[in-house]
Amino acid sequence: MNLSRIAWSLWAILPVIGLAYHYGPGQRAFMDSRAVELQRAAIELEREAMALQAAAYAKHLEALAARRAAADRPNSETEARANEATASESQAFQASSAAWRGVAEAYARVREAARDASPETMQMVRWSRSRALVRAGDLWNGIAELEGVLAELDAAGQSPSAMSRSTREELASAYYYAARLMRLSGDPAEEWLIESGKARQHFRYLAERARIDGLGAHVAQNHERNVELVLNLEQSTLLEIQGKPLPKDSPLGRTGNRPGGEGKRKRPPQQRDGRGAGGAEDVNTGW
């Protein structure tokens, strides 16, 4: 399954956050009108950011095609088109990144206004902020927050929960984005392989849990497909990676280096290597 289509499923439960303001246990703090308005504003900004992300991705595909044409038929015309398309791509991703930063800031305001809410509601808010940070290119802060949410869920024995699954999927995707962008930036293999390895392990764990929890064969197969796609990243040449489109929800670049090195890693329980899930396959447009 495409990373752009894996459990961004938590997006579907965003309205639950609004309902939690009124119905969930321990949600009295969310009755405050200020918190409700902030949450509504954050969701609206998120919708706008998603539209800008889609527009940026369309520009990315156009730029990728233009660069391929310039490489196949190098001349002044194709090179000019490639340069123009690349500039448009960069501008579109800058707009998308700025919008996602705005979303992250909006959810930070929600978190502050609702700091006395239940842990479950706060985890949802943190999840939304983390996703926004990742899509804005602030990968390491987004990953760190997702790791924190997942650690809390695991400690509470909620590993089989929908919230845990969605957090782990988001985290695995963020690890993949980081590994791919690190590789494209020329980072050493020993560094980006750490991130791709974590993505692979989490997707493998999700596939195994999907079978254990009876979520359906198609869910497990989707996660196994993602294991194969991570393997594709690890096994392909840099030139091959450069010629393939980014995942739809990936930023174009990342800010800074991961603080603290490997010590901040959050690995899945019962770590297992993902190799053997299937051979590496081509990454299709839209992955």
The candidate with the shortest Cα–Cα distance to 230, out of 270, 273, 197, 257, is 197
Q: At 109, phi and psi to the nearest 5? A: -70, -40
Token pair recorded at residue 171:
């985290």
Token pair recorded at residue 248:
């739809």
The candidate with the shortest Cα–Cα distance to 134, out of 123, 147, 152, 116, is 147
- The pLDDT assigned to 160 comes to 84
Q: What is the pLDDT along the chain (287 residues), one digit of tens a residue?
A: 455 444 333 444 444 444 444 445 444 544 467 888 899 999 999 999 999 999 999 999 999 999 999 999 999 999 999 999 999 999 999 999 999 999 999 999 999 988 777 888 889 999 999 999 999 999 999 999 999 999 999 998 888 899 999 999 999 999 999 999 999 999 999 999 999 999 999 999 999 999 998 888 999 999 999 999 999 999 999 999 999 999 999 999 998 777 765 444 445 544 433 333 333 333 333 34
- The pLDDT assigned to 261 comes to 53
- pTM score: 0.82
- The pLDDT assigned to 169 comes to 95
- The pLDDT assigned to 258 comes to 77
- The pLDDT assigned to 30 comes to 44
From CA 134, how far away is CA 136, in angstroms rounded? 5
